[in-house]
Amino acid sequence: MATAQNIVSFLFLHLVFVLLVSNIGNAKGLRLGYYHKTCPSAESIIKKATYQVISRAPTLAAPLLRMHFHDCFVRGCDGSVLLNSTKTNLAERDAIPNLSLRGFNVIDAIKAEVEEACPGVVSCADILAVAARDSVSMIHGPYWEVPLGRRDGRVSILNQVFAELPAPFANITQLKQMFAAKGLNMKDLAVLSGGHTIGTSHCLGFVNRLYNFTGRGDTDPSLDPNYIVKLRQKCKPGDTTTLVEMDPGSFKTFDEAYFTLVAKRRGLFQSDAALLDDPETKAYVILQSSTKGSTFAEDFAESMVKMGGIGVLTGNQGEIRKHCAFVN
């Protein structure tokens, strides 16, 4: 009897998740298998090309995930972060928070392969969404089905980055507002912050916490003092070049260790520490750190699908770029 109930419960939860993905897809005009007839090899081409890159350089997984995040939070998931600046317009990729993005050449190379197979069919925005998913799954992270059908935007404006992209210096109030503006809730905030389990940061992103937090030569009281000593050994005042692992010891592996660090007050950014300043996000941090990430993989997959539907262009909106760095 118990076994039958368990099976029913599992099937019900699976149905709920499928409906959730379907609703997100339908509501945004995205759907699973979008290129099934027009470019059936699209996802396999992207996966193979991504694998070739990540197998050689696993540290590129974090930048590709970050690039997708930066794309979606500014003007929606429309590939606008991929566009070059022109003589008359400064684009998103030249904004200070995006100067450290890497992997543009990876997306351009994948796009060229997809164009060779199916000219003018698959958007750069979709390629970025799928490559981000594949790169995460290739470093032991979760795999999720990506609803597709995004079109590429024709507009990319540098100044919009500062207004819409959450900064590493953001407090919990700012984070809450910025995520809510994109249709994401507090759980999504905690879950997606877990993406900091992979990757590195320049000292510039957190050095203020180590030396001059309030302008009086002090440190950030929300950061573990013992960790401050270690970070000071790596980052001196004014250091703009040194890279520091966000999740020391496993920054190349997608796991739940980030939440253990945050719970110990060792999150690298103020935005990491801010998760302990709200009851809901704090509870999520404690749950994952105390249960070895019992639901993190599943939650991350779900939140990534939600994030991937932010402000998408579909149907006749936007265009399908021939080259991801330029509008047609």
pLDDT for position 70: 98
* CB proximity list for 193: less than 8 A, separation 6 or greater: 258, 262, 271, 272, 275
Q: What is the distance between the alpha carbons of residues 6 and 217, in angstroms, rounded to a whole number? A: 58
Tell me the mean pLDDT in the region 201-214.
94
Q: Break the chain down into helix, strand, coil percent, rounded to 5.
A: 55, 5, 40
pLDDT at 317 over 80: yes
Asked if residues 197 and 297 have their Cβ atoms less than 8 Å apart, the reply is: no
Structure tokens at 79: 């590939």
User: Global pTM?
Assistant: 0.90
Dihedral pair phi/psi, residue 216, rounded to 5°: -120, 25
Average pLDDT, the chain: 92
The pLDDT value given to residue 249: 84
**From 14, 36, 68, 70, active-site residue:** 70
**pLDDT of 161 over the 60 cut:** yes
State percent of the chain over pLDDT 70.
91
18-55 pLDDT, tens digit each: 444 433 434 469 999 999 999 999 999 999 999 999 99
The pLDDT, as a whole number, for residue 28 is 66
Is residue 150 predicted with pLDDT exceeding 50? yes
- Long-range pairs for 114-120 at CB < 8 Å and ≥24 separation? 114/39, 114/42, 114/45, 114/46, 115/322, 117/39, 117/41, 117/42, 117/45, 118/35, 118/38, 118/39, 118/41, 118/42, 119/322, 120/320, 120/322
Helix or strand run (H / E) with residue 22 = helix 2-28
pLDDT (tens digit per residue) in 61-109: 999 999 999 999 999 999 999 999 999 999 999 999 999 999 999 999 9
Once rounded to an integer, what is the mean pLDDT over residues 264-279? 97
Q: Is 70 a catalytic residue?
A: yes
Task: Choose the weakest-confidence range: 24-38, 135-149, 199-213.
Answer: 24-38
